[in-house]
Homo-oligomer: A and B are copies of this chain.
């Protein structure tokens, strides 16, 4: 695909876009740019606009802005996005804590959806419940900015050797 065709395609979409769609497009391009620059490791993280940090040795926080890009058809945060937020927050906590020659894969995840995801942002806090040489169990809660709990989850991770 030639650059000229891609630009033409983008122009056509832009010509039909209303203000909300232009805003979504801009956010989406920001995510793509960060993926290109390796600030995000996945397009999904770019779509979500996720930001994460370690709060303490045992607790990790990931935040996404609530915007059209993550909505379901009812204008609330899509269940798949909430699940992704949880998966990313739990997996990042595990990888942050593992020695550099180990990785981990999610083997199981259980999510209870409790309240609508809306407001300005969703905040996911994950913490370690159990760890052994082969297995980590992590819990995570997702909150709205008004403090309401949106979801609660438990995940099981299997530790594997990291390929060099």
Q: Which residues of A contact B (CB under 8 A)?
A: 1, 3, 6-7, 9-17, 21-26, 28-29, 32-33, 36, 41-44, 47, 68-73, 78-81, 83-85, 87-88, 91, 105-115, 129-130, 135, 137, 139, 149, 152, 154, 156, 158
Contact A41 B10 (CB under 8 A): no
| A25 and B29 alpha carbons, distance in the complex (Å) | 9
Q: How far is the CB of A160 from chain B (nearest CB, A)?
A: 10
Contact between chains at A91 and B110 (CB < 8 Å): no
- Docked-complex contact B13 and A33, CB < 8 angstroms: yes
Once the chains bind, are A137 and B109 in contact (CB under 8 Å)?
no
A158, B130: Cα distance in complex, Å: 16
Residue from the list B7, B110, B115 in contact with A108, Cβ < 8 A: B110
> CB distance A156 to B107 under 8 Å?
yes
Given contacts A129-B152, A137-B152, A156-B112, contact A36 B16 (CB under 8 A): yes
Q: A6-B14, A112-B154 are in contact. Are A43 and B69 (CB under 8 A)?
A: yes
Q: Shortest CB–CB separation between residue A34 and chain B, in angstroms?
A: 10
- What's the nearest-Cβ distance from chain B to residue A134, in Å? 8
Residue of B nearest to A81 (CB): B44
